[in-house]
Amino acid sequence: MAETGRLSLPSARPLRLPVHPVTALRIGIIVAVLVIWELVSASGWLYRDVVPSLGAIGKALYATLSDPSFYFHLYTTFYEIGIAMVIGGVSGLAVGILLGGSKFMSRAYEAYLYYLGPCPKIIFFPIMIMWFGVGPGSKVAMGAISCFFPVALNVAGGMREIDKVLIRVGRSFRANTWQMVTKIYLPAMRHPVINGMRLGLGVALIGTLLAETKLSNRGIGFLVIQAYSIFNMPQMYALLIILFVIAIGANTVIGRVGGLDSIKRT
């Protein structure tokens, strides 16, 4: 009996993969997608060049990243988004504090922000062109408008959730409004503020880049629409890959830096 038991032990041991099953499945999915992509590209089922080969995309990615003019366009887009974040973020923060700090203001005006927030902002672009011209100004304005709403709404919501004890502590120390904002409100609601900024950055990026694709002569959005106009599909894929890496990277970095990933998801 003992012998049998000893002999059967190795066969009862579960099959061990050299990698974790989740990692194996992930690798499997990625490889399958790449193989299907390459097959579709080689088969010519779709219009020629609509699905370029992975090699062509890789070459276009390398060519784009090693082209100095690309960095001029990247700088332009970053510059526009940066200014838009400052304008939209600061005004959103101020309006959010105003709305979150006063029940009356919130009941009087927050509904307008709440319902305007999800509206498609790009439709304001013709107005922004008239107000700020066809240059970077109108793109900055588009980014700022897009960024303003999530920041304002998140900050207003965050203000209302501040522990009342902290506010009473501030008042009992006779803190003035500025001290209340910098010493109590902002530190206590850093997570909603950072989350608002993260959402704001995402939509500012979309607003600015869409505006660039509509009417501009510089920026990554312009490069994308130019690649479309001259039917340079590998370059379009390369630019989209770069854009997604930047967007997802920025999103993750803000989340990590702001400690959002440490908050338990509810």
Partner 1 sequence: MSDATVAAGKAFARSRYGPALIGLGSFVAFIVLVELLIRVGLINRFIVPMPSDIIAAFPRVIEEEQVLHRFVLTATEALSATILVTVLGVSGGVLLHRYLLLRQATETWVAAIAAAPLVLMYPLYLVIFGRSALTIVMMGFTAGLAPVILKTLEGLSGTRRVLINVGKSFNLTPSQQFWKILFPAALPTIFVGLRLGLIFSLINIVGIEFLINFGGLGQLINELAERYDLPGTYAAICFVILVSVCVFVLMERLERWLRPVD
For tokens 């995402």, the residue is: 202
Q: Which helix (H) or strand (E) holds 105?
A: helix 103-116
- What is the nearest approach in angstroms of partner 1 to the Cβ of residue 180? 22
Cα separation of 64 and 54, whole Å? 15
70 binds partner 1 (CB under 8 A): no
Through-space distance between the first and last CA atoms of the chain, rounded to whole angstroms: 53
107 binds partner 1 (CB under 8 A): yes
In the window 138-197, what residues touch partner 1 (CB under 8 A)?
Answer: none
Cα separation of 197 and 205, whole Å? 12
Tokens encoding 49: 């060049």
Which position among 55, 126, 135, 187 is part of the footprint of partner 1 (CB under 8 A)?
126
Q: What is the dihedral of CA 199, 205, 206, 207, to 10 degrees?
A: 100
Query: What is the total count of residues that contact partner 1 (CB under 8 A)?
Result: 50
95 binds partner 1 (CB under 8 A): no
- What is the nearest approach in angstroms of partner 1 to the Cβ of residue 93? 21
- What is the nearest approach in angstroms of partner 1 to the Cβ of residue 156? 14
Angle between helices 233-257 and 220-229 (to 10 degrees): 160
- What is the nearest approach in angstroms of partner 1 to the Cβ of residue 91? 16
Which position among 19, 36, 86, 119 is part of the footprint of partner 1 (CB under 8 A)?
119
Cα separation of 68 and 58, whole Å? 18
Residue 87 amino acid letter: I
55 binds partner 1 (CB under 8 A): no
- Contacts with partner 1 by CB under 8 A lie at 21-22, 25-26, 29, 46, 50, 104-105, 107-109, 111-112, 115-116, 118-120, 122-127, 129-131, 202, 205-206, 209-210, 213-214, 221, 224-225, 227-228, 231, 233, 236-237, 240, 243-244, 247-248, 251
